[in-house]
Amino acid sequence: MQPLFLLALIKKKGGVFMANDQHMIETLSGMLQDGETLMCPIFGYIKYNGFQQFAYFGLTETHFLIACLSGENVTDTKRIPLNIASVQIKKSKLLKEYTINILFENGKPHTICAFPKVLKVKSQEENFPLFLKLLKNNTKKQALTLDELGGEKIRWQYFNTYIYIMLAFLPAIPVMIIMQELRKGNFDIWNTIVEMSGATPVIAVMYGIFIGPFIILSIFNRFTFGKILGVINEDTLFLENREISIKDIVKIIYHPRVMSRRKISFSYATFVVQLNKNDIESFDVIHFPIYGLRKIKKHNKDIKLSCDKYIWFLILCPTVIFAVLGFLLG
């Protein structure tokens, strides 16, 4: 069974529901208004801030239709005027999946993903090429990919999490030694400083061995390879599914995260953008690096940069753990 067929299976209470032509046509037809015709309905999923939800999509003469699914139940529907500012279509080489970034003139971007063929949705094979063609015909411009855009590239940093974790452990060993001496009751600060200074070259060499190669890779990662998350071109920030005037960015909050065995969690940045006097929008960009925030700040000094409180946990946790161990083992 090809991977594209698996997308038709939607979890529901008590089992799974398989999307099919009849359910898709009935759902989208129920969204039509008088005089409208349903054109090129397809099945896929829509992305929201790193989350995914299965959905049916279709077009009329004047609107773009979205019906979000949870099992066989429709949880939400949208009718968006077919005023498309730009569309960007990418095809993955491995799975043959299409990612379609649509920017409507109301400023709200949508990212949808779909396969050319879906089991039980027989019409997908015929409708999908027509769906893409109609999107392009109703688009004012074909958007360039981030790779094609000129400007300052901001890339996903593959090695920084490891580097930050290793640096967080740097003060942990000295703190553990101090706590051991305190527990023994013979703590001499000057003697401890002398002993630690004698061990400094050894620690520096060890960290050079364990971190040095990753720092070099990180530098190359920033300038030569890695997935491009954004491009700064003059005073505009281009992201995968939208473009923003940097002067409209009010605030950026960085959320550091660390993966564990039980949970996959990636760092991300929350952008707060002033759309007009009374309308503010916020959205998340997964994997957006800290250095990217500094680059954006250079173009607008009024942007407020901050980190959520979780960063203090990441910084202090190793030191606190080693301090407790030092006290207990002293």
Q: What is the pLDDT of residues 215-267, one digit of tens each?
A: 999 999 999 999 999 999 989 999 987 888 999 999 999 998 876 555 557 88
pLDDT computed for residue 276 by the predictor: 80
29: amino acid identity, one letter = S
Q: How confident is the model at residue 186 (pLDDT cuts 50, 70, 90)?
A: low
Select the more confidently predicted residue: 300 or 13: 300
Higher pLDDT, 288 or 194: 288
Q: Which residues pair with 211 in a beta bridge?
A: none
Residue 126 tokens read as 């015929």
Q: Quick one: average pLDDT of 132-145?
A: 82
pLDDT of residue 100: 93
Tokens representing 154? Answer: 């901001």
Quote the CA–CA distance of 107 and 77 in Å, as a whole number: 19
Helix axes 189-223, 172-184, angle to 10 degrees: 160
**pLDDT band of 143, cuts 50, 70, 90:** low
Backbone angles phi, psi at 260, to 5 degrees: -135, 175
pLDDT of residue 5: 45
pLDDT at 201 over 90: no
- Ranges for all domains in the chain classified under CATH 2.30.29.30: 3-142
For the entire predicted model, the pTM comes to 0.66
> Do 234 and 244 meet the contact criterion of CB atoms below 8 Å apart?
no
Q: How confident is the model at residue 1 (pLDDT cuts 50, 70, 90)?
A: very low
CATH class, range 3-142:
mainly beta
